[in-house]
């Protein structure tokens, strides 16, 4: 692939960098050779943001008016180094698709975007800016294609926090790439997290989904097996799959009916076989299960009346059990915090083990409560606990259906298992239904911790919201467990049987084992210990400070830095110290021109240190009108400040033009972000992670 080699030779494509500019020049020249019309956008007209990057788009009119946008991120992350994630294979593949359809109309209209400012991770500024200008009357789908290297496994992204991709693009893509020899990977439970609106890592689809554009993300990951397909075979398979996708989409008649926007679907997969249940199928399944349940309840009226009677008589037990479980989960949270105080906050390196410790602690305390406080006037009939588990699953179905009907199937399965648990009298069958009832929760937990989704895991481990959610989801399973215990003990006994005692022993042993392991656990045997370096030279206050922080203890001793020597006390995880003031690296030249009671200031900002980002704001009287700026500007309502959006990797020198009323004094606040130079070695096994050097300066411009 000649395009791949040419783009790689441009260098590391940081947003707004010369290497990225060279890559855009190559794209521009390549597209001109194809005699294709293209649109190029810079960020000068962007609202609430700015970048020195660009966006190139090529539109290929198709046989059908349906529009497919293929978005390709062009920039690279600053934290990446040369290697797997830096290859431009996705860009080269997009250019080959343009060459294929440049002179032959594709089945549907195709617009290929090369998005500067987007890296394929998180929400990119390029996507946000493009959508500020995007207008169309045609039905529109969007594929966000991020392929750092091919051949690769294709991971399908289906949403972002609070938003889920519609079923249509997913259905078309799965059908188009079926049996093409490219391994597809999709976490169905991840889509459920998006629907719930819980904290998850942002995806590139966010801006498009919020703009009501049906979007699907395709991200390349390394193959999981030892013999991936050859690049040529993979590219041919992708072309065939993409051609099929485009043909299916072009064949849809969307002129008289709106684009299908069903986001309440559920996806199941076994290997490379996928089954998508749409919203109507989910509604039908839910109504069918509930109808059959009510019929069974009617046919077994005697048992139903006994269940209702014991529920009414002992209903107060349920909130008591719920609060008790919430309390024990909170104690599990406190246990994790105590471990952090004794050692270090290492939950990000072993989130599943910390979660298991929390659950085992709560289970141990809950079981111990029943073993030691059996004289409380709690329900003594096993039927109450069977009925309560059915009731709680039913309430879970109602609550989560109100959030999104696709979320209820976790508890719909548990609801069916609770009916089976109640229907069968044999102990082994009850134990079987108890074990398989949380099967779907096992799956979502696996997806959650195998990714891992650290923002959501943090909620589950450390917050009261997470404890409330866990208590609400786990209580019906514990009620079923108590019912098993009633079957295992002697009917005349008022004490817990060996079922609860076994749970006490097992959960207690697991808790002690996890405690011992986590108190001695270290993830840094085969990886460096990250150290965060934050250096700030504040010329507003005349201070120069350095903060070092580490997840474990910093290495005791001292090291030289510039003209100082930094001392690291024993058993320190954070060190803050003052440094001698440095020479001001920022120079500002001001030139003024006046016309019609307005003054235009031509400000030239230069810096002796390389700048990765400039933040700028103007402080002026609240009634001051800023007539113009060569960069996007936003006034903070109710304050004296206006923000000027400049962006990453600005040119040197930087020209800033402002037009204000004549004879108005103002203050310019500048914050420059750079990377410190001449960093010392911190000792064997330690590594600086994204060190930051921040320079703050305030310039007062007085006018009489």
Helices (H), 203-278: 206-210, 231-251
* Among 106, 7, 124, 118, residue whose Cα is nearest residue 59: 106
Q: Which tokens is 702 given?
A: 């007085």
- pLDDT for position 218: 94
Q: CA-CA distance, 194 to 351, in Å (whole number)?
A: 20
Rounded Cα gap, residues 295 and 291, in angstroms: 6
- pLDDT reported for residue 489: 53
How does DSSP assign 468-491, residue by residue?
A: HHHHHHHHHHHHHHHHHHHHHS-T
pLDDT of residue 79: 64
Cβ–Cβ < 8 Å for 689, 531: yes
Count the helix, strand and coil residues of the chain and give each as a percent rounded to the nearest 5.
Answer: 40, 25, 35
Model confidence at 57, pLDDT cuts 50, 70, 90, reads very high
Residue 635 and residue 657 in contact, taking contact as beta carbons nearer than 8 Å: no
- Read off the pLDDT band of 374 (50, 70, 90): low
- Minimum mean pLDDT among 193-197, 268-272, 578-582, 661-665: which range? 268-272
Spatial distance between the Cα atoms of 217 and 206, rounded to a whole number of angstroms: 10
Spatial contact of 131 and 124, defined as CB atoms under 8 Å apart: no
**Coil vs helix vs strand at 418:** helix
Which of 50-54, 191-195, 563-567 bottoms out in mean pLDDT, i.e. has the lowest? Answer: 191-195
Mean pLDDT of 606-614: 93
pLDDT at 631 over 90: yes
What is the three-class DSSP state of 661? strand
The pLDDT tens digits for 88-111 are: 888 988 998 888 887 788 899 999
The answer to whether 74 touches 23, Cβ cutoff 8 Å, is: yes
pLDDT in tens, 13-55: 999 999 999 999 999 999 988 888 889 999 988 999 999 999 9
Q: How far is CA 135 from CA 40, 44, 110, 130, 205, in A?
A: 16, 19, 15, 10, 18
Per-residue tokens: 243: 């051609």
- State mean pLDDT over 381-397: 86
530, burial (CB in 10 Å: exposed 0-12, middle 13-18, buried 19+):
middle
For 523-556, the pLDDT digits (tens) are: 998 889 999 999 999 998 999 999 999 989 998 8
pLDDT at 86 over 70: no
Range from 173-187, 211-225, 321-335 that averages highest in pLDDT: 321-335
In whole angstroms, what is the distance from residue 20 CA to residue 10 CA? 7
pTM for this prediction: 0.87
Q: Of all helices (H) and strands (E), which one includes residue 636?
A: none
Among 425, 410, 430, 428, smallest CA distance to 482 is for 430
For residue 385, pLDDT beyond 50:
yes
Residue 341 has pLDDT above 50, yes or no: yes
Q: Quick one: average pLDDT of 594-612?
A: 92
Complete domains list, the chain, with CATH: 2-223+230-253 (3.40.630.10), 283-520 (no CATH), 529-578 (no CATH), 586-701 (2.60.40.290)
Rounded distance between C-alpha atoms, residue 347 and residue 569, angstroms? 25
Q: What's the confidence (pLDDT) of residue 456?
A: 87
Cα 65 to Cα 138: distance, rounded to the nearest angstrom: 6
| Whole-number average pLDDT of the chain | 87
- Residue 498 pLDDT: 63
pLDDT in tens, 247-294: 999 998 876 555 567 888 888 888 788 888 888 888 898 889 889 888
Report pLDDT digits (tens) over 480-513. 887 776 655 544 455 555 666 778 889 999 999 9
Mean pLDDT of 113-132: 94
Asked whether residue 436 carries a pLDDT value surpassing 70, the answer given is yes
Backbone angle region of 337, left / alpha / beta, with phi > 0 → left and psi within -120 to 50 → alpha: alpha
Model pLDDT, residue 81: 42
């Amino acid at each position: 692939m000649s395009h791949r080699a040419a783009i790689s030779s441009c260098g590391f494509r940081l947003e707004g960098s010369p290497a990225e500019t060279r890559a855009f020049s190559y794209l521009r020249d390549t597209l001109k050779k194809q005699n294709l019309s293209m649109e190029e956008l810079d960020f000068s007209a962007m609202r609430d943001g700015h970048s020195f990057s660009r966006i190139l788009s090529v539109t290929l009119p198709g046989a059908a008016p349906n529009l497919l946008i293929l978005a390709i991120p062009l920039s690279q992350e600053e934290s990446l180094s040369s290697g797997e994630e830096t290859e431009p294979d996705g860009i080269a593949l997009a250019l080959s698709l343009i060459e294929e359809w440049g002179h032959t109309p594709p089945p549907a209209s195709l617009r290929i975007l090369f998005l500067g400012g987007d890296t394929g991770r998180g929400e990119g500024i390029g996507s946000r800016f493009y959508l500020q200008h995007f207008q169309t009357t045609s039905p529109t789908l969007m594929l966000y294609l991020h392929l750092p290297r091919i051949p690769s496994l294709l991971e399908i992204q289906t949403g972002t926090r609070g938003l889920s991709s519609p079923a249509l693009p997913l259905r078309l893509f799965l059908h188009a790439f079926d049996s093409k020899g490219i391994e597809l990977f999709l976490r169905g439970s991840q889509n459920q997290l998006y629907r719930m609106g819980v904290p998850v890592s942002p995806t590139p689809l966010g801006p498009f989904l919020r703009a009501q554009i049906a979007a699907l993300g395709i991200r390349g990951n390394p193959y999981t097996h030892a013999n991936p397909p050859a690049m040529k075979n993979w590219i041919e398979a992708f072309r065939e799959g993409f051609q099929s996708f485009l043909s299916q989409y072009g064949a849809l008649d969307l002129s008289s009916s709106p684009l299908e926007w069903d986001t309440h679907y559920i996806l199941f997969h076994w290997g490379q076989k996928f089954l998508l249940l749409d919203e109507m199928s989910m509604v039908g399944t839910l109504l069918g299960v509930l109808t059959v349940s009510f019929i069974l309840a009617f046919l077994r009226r005697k048992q139903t009346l006994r269940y209702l009677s014991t529920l009414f008589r002992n209903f107060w037990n349920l909130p008591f059990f719920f609060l008790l479980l919430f309390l024990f989960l909170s104690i599990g949270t406190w246990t994790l915090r105590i471990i952090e105080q004794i050692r270090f906050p290492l939950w990000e390196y072993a989130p599943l083990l910390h979660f298991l410790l929390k659950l085992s602690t709560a289970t141990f305390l809950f079981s111990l409560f029943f073993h030691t406080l059996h004289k409380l006037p709690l329900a003594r009939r096993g039927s109450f606990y069977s009925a309560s588990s059915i009731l709680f699953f039913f309430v879970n179905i109602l609550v989560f259906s109100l959030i999104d009907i696709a979320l209820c199937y976790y508890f719909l399965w548990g609801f069916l298992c609770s009916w089976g648990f109640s229907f069968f009298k044999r102990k082994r069958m009850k134990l079987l239904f108890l074990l398989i009832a949380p099967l779907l929760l096992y799956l979502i937990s696996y997806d959650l911790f195998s990714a891992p989704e650290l923002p959501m895991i943090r909620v589950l481990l450390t917050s009261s919201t997470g404890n409330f959610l866990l208590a609400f989801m786990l209580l019906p399973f514990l009620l079923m467990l108590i019912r098993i215990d009633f079957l295992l003990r002697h009917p005349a006994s008022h004490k817990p049987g060996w079922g609860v005692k076994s749970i006490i022993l097992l959960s207690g042993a697991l808790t002690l084992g996890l405690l011992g392991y986590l108190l001695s656990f270290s993830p840094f045997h085969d990886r460096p210990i990250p150290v965060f370096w934050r250096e700030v030279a504040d010329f507003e206050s005349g201070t120069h400070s350095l903060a070092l922080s580490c997840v474990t203890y910093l290495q005791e001793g001292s090291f030289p830095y510039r003209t100082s020597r930094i001392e690291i006390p024993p058993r320190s995880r954070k060190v803050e110290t003052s440094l001698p003031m440095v020479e001001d690296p920022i120079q500002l030249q001001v030139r003024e021109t006046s016309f019609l009671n307005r003054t235009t200031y031509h400000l030239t900002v230069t810096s002796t240190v390389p700048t990765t980002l400039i933040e700028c704001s103007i402080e002026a009287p609240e009634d001051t009108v800023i007539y113009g700026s060569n960069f996007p500007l936003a006034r903070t309502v109710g304050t004296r400040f206006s923000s000027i959006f400049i962006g990453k990797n600005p040119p040197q020198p930087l020209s800033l033009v402002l037009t204000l009323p004549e004879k108005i004094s103002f203050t310019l606040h500048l914050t420059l972000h750079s990377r410190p130079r001449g960093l010392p070695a911190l000792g064997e096994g330690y590594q600086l992670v994204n060190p930051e050097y921040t320079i703050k300066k305030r310039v007062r411009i007085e006018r009489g």
